[in-house]
A and B are shown apart, each in its own frame.
Chain A
Amino acid sequence: MKKFINIVSAGAAALLALSSCFDDKGNYDYEEVIPVSIDMAVGNNGFLSIKFSEQLIIDPLLTFGGKTMNASQTGDTFSFIWYCNNVEIASGPVLDYPVKDLSGARPYIKLKVITNRDESTFLAGLTIDLIAEYQTGWVILTKKDGKSYLSYINPDTYEVYADFYTQLAGEELGPDAQLIEEHWSFSGLTATGNIQVVMSNPEGNIDLNGQDLTPMYYTNSYFIGNEPPAGFLPANEIYLWNFSYLLDTDGNLYLRKYATPALLQSGVYASTPIHIPGGVKIDRAWSGGLRPNVAIFYDKDNGALYYGSGSNGAVIPLRITGWMGPPLAPGAYTDPADMDKELVYVAYIAAGGMGGGGMFYALVYKAPDGSYHRQRIMLSDQGGYAVQVMVDSGANPDFQFAGSGIAHDASVFLQSFRTADHLFFSGGSDNRSLYLFEHTAKRTSLYYTFESPIRTISQNHINSAHTLLMVGLENGEFHFIGIAYDDIVAADPATRFRKKVEPGQGVPVSTLYKNGFGYTQM
């Protein structure tokens, strides 16, 4: 074998030596391949959100040989083949294709550009996020003549789809709707969230399809044995990652473990309430943010807070375990386990908004003298079995931000999702004023004044490109108010006004901005 290798090696060396003697006189055109870069949709970083009912039109931008131009301007320089999830759907420089005909839940559009001269090939791709007709937008719950109405306000055109529930469900919503909330499944980030309508009636809460707003589920059918407890009336429902809690009007909490967290509704509730030591009844419940794994429960009778864990479904008393700063003397703070004030609002502050790990909350209290206070705390889950509670004592942790002349029982509060420093609330004479409290500066300022009392405040503020409040007024009007940086620092409050919409559906009860996809919440 070794001998054979030596013979082959010698032959190869001889060939190389011979070839070096040739002088190639051939007449070849040695033009280099010119690279082509393709931008499918300028500024979208490989993703494009488009409504299901629209036409997908892409005229890609090509850069080659020092020139940049749209594909439609390149004449016969190139050939184009378009694919959707690897199936050819079109040829030609411009893709003009109905979105509804794209295949797959999240279609991937691929473009192959072929240089006609030398058949060099270049590829680019784009993921399409299909937006249902009502994927995003404002949803309002109003009440008129004793009846509840659900309406939708287009976020771009401000067109109103009034009383959509009656049309889509084929029946009226009735008088019992209390609250609307958006919730998501907890493994499919690309899934659209549903809208929960909390209904204080025997049929229970209604879950609306997040894409087309039609009713999908009735919560009361999710009790074990398909039988809710006798006299059960829902007051709220909190969806966490692995569990959901259902609060009834008697202060009982019911627990469900999801059979499949990827589904918007799965698993069955126990037909007996969770046991909370001491016979505790829950007055109100808050979730901890947009895609929460934490619930905060308020025992008003005993002035105590409880922590609901989305990890194991436990309900744990909140007891101070430490301080973010020097320890405070009793009286200098409000003890979440023994509050001497009434809790009126729990503001989840996006993680990192106050620095460090854990989950941060601003608790808004009403003191017996009618003044309003906020205290900041950090919660840290200890495996679902215990929770660390750290009180922010770095500054004044129990700060009075509004006297009784400003905030009062009719006040509504809204913590900004993305600007941790900003807490908006209504108050003043007839509750017609919108105030801004800045946590760090401890400053309360008048932000805007309306001609009718404020009933609801909601926000489209998932990122810096969305900076709107919607303020629902008792006269049935909805005002859109800017909260971008320029709005915050504006000298003239009038410049903050964007738009007024009059759906004509009565007095606002509960409102939200529908954020749509789960991943937009991360």
Chain B
Amino acid sequence: MLLALTGCRTDEIDLYSDNSYIYFTNDSDNVIEYSFVYEPGVQTGMIPLSISLIGSLDERAREVSMRVASDKSDAPQGTYDLPSQTLLGALKARDTVWLTVYKNEAMRDVKYKLRIEINDNGNFLAGPTTNRFIDVVFSDMVSRPAWWDDTIVNNFLGVYTNLKYRLFIEATGTADLTDASENETWTYTAMFRDFLLAGRENATGDDPFTDDDGRVDVSPTFR
């Protein structure tokens, strides 16, 4: 009984003690999703992990204990890096730790999950239980965005395919037309059309832009 009570107490933040606590700014429920597809040409992605302090500021940068929870992760070695030393900067109540992820071919079909936990160390205790870990899911996969609706299909980009979306992002540098005006959508579609034309002209052999749905192209009504 006594042990149980003691265990409960360690999860609470004692605001009246001299202890300093560190935690992920985002709730642990909020999974961070990252896809290389939205950053054409990028092989190494940098994902910011925000950490926050409860306690006193210090004139020294202080080390934070952070590790990958292997039993809750499936990302293979070599697809990510955490800094060997993670720090909360001097006189900072909030800081950013950068998780590095590396693209590979398998990520086109698979999403990798990584759980990163904060642990107690000599500088900090782990903060609220709701913010002690963060799950990061990273991949190179695409899926049909909500903005690719019937208007986009009929007037601009044609039927959705994953390859078309991937090529569209590569051609235009944008993945999101949610707030694009009709004129902006026209311009992005024209850029995509010219990208396909140039790619086909420069290709040797088979059409480089075909997928299971056939030849990748803009809507036949686009002009």
Contacts and interface: CB of A to CB of B under 8 A. Distances in A.
A313 interface: yes
Nearest to A273: B194
A267 interface: yes
Nearest to B171: A272
Interface in A307-355: 312-313
Nearest to B198: A275
A371 interface: no
Given A274-B194, A277-B201, A313-B190, A267 B171 contact: no
A268 B223 contact: no
B194 A257 contact: no
B197 interface: yes
A259 interface: yes
A278 B190 CA distance: 18
Interface in B17-62: none
Contacts of A275: 194-195, 197-198, 201
Given A259-B183, A312-B223, A270 B201 contact: no
B65 to A, nearest CB: 42
A268 B187 contact: yes
A255 interface: yes
B133 interface: no
Contacts of B223: 312-313, 384
Interface string A257-290: 1110000001111111111011000000000000
A48 interface: no
A224 interface: yes
B211 interface: no
A224 B188 contact: yes
Interface in B154-199: 171, 173-174, 181-184, 186-188, 190-191, 194-195, 197-198
Contacts of B184: 224, 268
Nearest to A257: B186
Contact of B187 (A224, A278, A312): A224
Contacts of B187: 224, 256-257, 267-270
Interface in A209-257: 224-225, 255-257
A307 to B, nearest CB: 16
Contacts of B198: 275
Decide if the interface of chain B is mainly helix, strand, loop or mixed: helix
B183 A267 contact: yes
Contact of A272 (B181, B183, B186, B195): B195
Contacts of B186: 257, 267
Interface residues of A, number: 22
Contacts of A274: 194
Contacts of B188: 224, 270
Interface string B100-122: 00000000000000000000000
Question: Which of A257, A270, A273, A278 is packed against the most chain B CB atoms within 10 Å?
Answer: A270
B194 A272 contact: yes
A270 B190 CA distance: 7
A312 B223 CA distance: 6
B191 A271 contact: yes
A312 B222 CA distance: 10
Decide if the interface of chain A is mainly helix, strand, loop or mixed: loop
Contacts of A268: 183-184, 187
Contacts of A269: 187
Contacts of A271: 173, 191
A259 B194 contact: no
A384 B223 CA distance: 10
Nearest to A256: B187
Question: Which of B173, B187, B188, B191 is packed against the most chain A CB atoms within 10 Å?
Answer: B187
Given A224-B188, A272-B171, A266 B183 contact: yes
A274 B171 CA distance: 12
Contacts of A259: 181-183
Interface in A49-89: none
Question: Which of A255, A256, A268, A272 is packed against the most chain B CB atoms within 10 Å?
Answer: A272
Nearest to A272: B191
A244 to B, nearest CB: 12
A259 B180 CA distance: 12
Contacts of A255: 190
Nearest to B190: A270
A272 to B, nearest CB: 5
Interface string B195-223: 10110010000000000000000000001
Contacts of B173: 271
Contacts of B201: 275, 277-278
Contact of A257 (B171, B174, B183, B195): B183
A277 to B, nearest CB: 6
Question: Which of B173, B183, B195 is packed against the most chain A CB atoms within 10 Å?
Answer: B183
Contacts of A267: 183, 186-187
A132 B191 CA distance: 40
A259 B183 CA distance: 6
Contacts of A278: 201
A272 B188 CA distance: 10
Contacts of B195: 272, 275
A469 B66 CA distance: 80
A241 to B, nearest CB: 14
Contacts of A384: 223
B193 to A, nearest CB: 8
Nearest to A223: B187
A48 B197 CA distance: 53
Interface string A350-379: 000000000000000000000000000000
B47 to A, nearest CB: 24
Contacts of B181: 259
Nearest to A268: B187
Contacts of A277: 197, 201
A349 to B, nearest CB: 29
A-B pairs, top 9 by smallest CB distance, nearest first, are: A275-B194, A259-B183, A275-B197, A275-B198, A270-B191, A267-B183, A312-B223, A224-B187, A272-B191
23 contacts: A224-B187, A224-B191, A225-B174, A255-B190, A256-B187, A257-B190, A258-B183, A259-B181, A259-B183, A266-B183, A267-B186, A267-B187, A268-B187, A270-B187, A270-B191, A271-B173, A272-B194, A274-B194, A275-B195, A275-B197, A275-B201, A278-B201, A313-B223
